[in-house]
Structure formats: C-alpha cells, structure tokens
Amino acid sequence: MEPLAGGLLAGVLEKQDGGRRYEERQQKRVEEHRPALEQYEAFCRELGQAPADVGLAWLLHQPAVTAPIVGPRTMQQFEGSLAALEVTLEDAALDRLDEIFPGYKAAPMEYAW
C-alpha cells in the first residue's frame, strides 16, 4: 500500500481541485471509507497539521517501517512530504489514529510464523 493510501490520507475530502479523487475507482474508495476519513481529517485539524503530514508521520512512528517510499509527482508534493519529519505524534494521537483506522497489527511480531 502506498504511504498515503493513494491519496486518501492526504486530505481527499478537503481538496477541491479535482484530480485523481474524481476518478470512479477513487470515488468508490472515498465513499467506502468516508466515515473514517471524516474523523481523520477532523483529527488532523485538531492537531493543526496537514493530513498528508500526519499520515506520513504516523507511518514513520511504526517500528517496522525503516524507510517509507513516497512517490511525489511534483516538487511541491516532495517538499510537503518533508514537513512530516517535523510532526511528532504523542501516544494519545497514535492511539486515536489506531481507533480511526482499526485492524492493523503490529509488525513484524503479529505476522511472524
């Protein structure tokens, strides 16, 4: 899976500029996950951070992730990704993110044979 879930964790509900989220497949994904995305984007606003920055910071807080592979299409996206390095998520914030998006298990322990 892509670090920002194909754009879903980049503020897809807030953006009004068109782009991939208006493709039929992406629209289906947005609608399928709308309740969680609404909670996520509201939580990001509470934190005072951009959704994409929170998404990447959340990924960077995972012990099994050594180097997320981001795929910015523009220099602006690349520079925006660097902002995630400055985002510190406290345990309460990490717990809240896990509540919004439940079902993920700690790796590699939970996936070991």
pLDDT for the residue 21: 47
Of 78, 11, 8, 12, nearest to 47 (Cα)?
A: 11
pLDDT for the residue 39: 96
Condensed to tens digits (0 to 9), the pLDDT of residues 52-89 reads 999 999 988 888 777 777 778 889 888 888 888 899 99
Condensed to tens digits (0 to 9), the pLDDT of residues 29-58 reads 889 889 999 999 999 999 999 999 999 999
Burial of 69 (0-12, 13-18, 19+ CB in 10 A): exposed
For the cut 80, the answer to whether the pLDDT of residue 22 exceeds it is: no
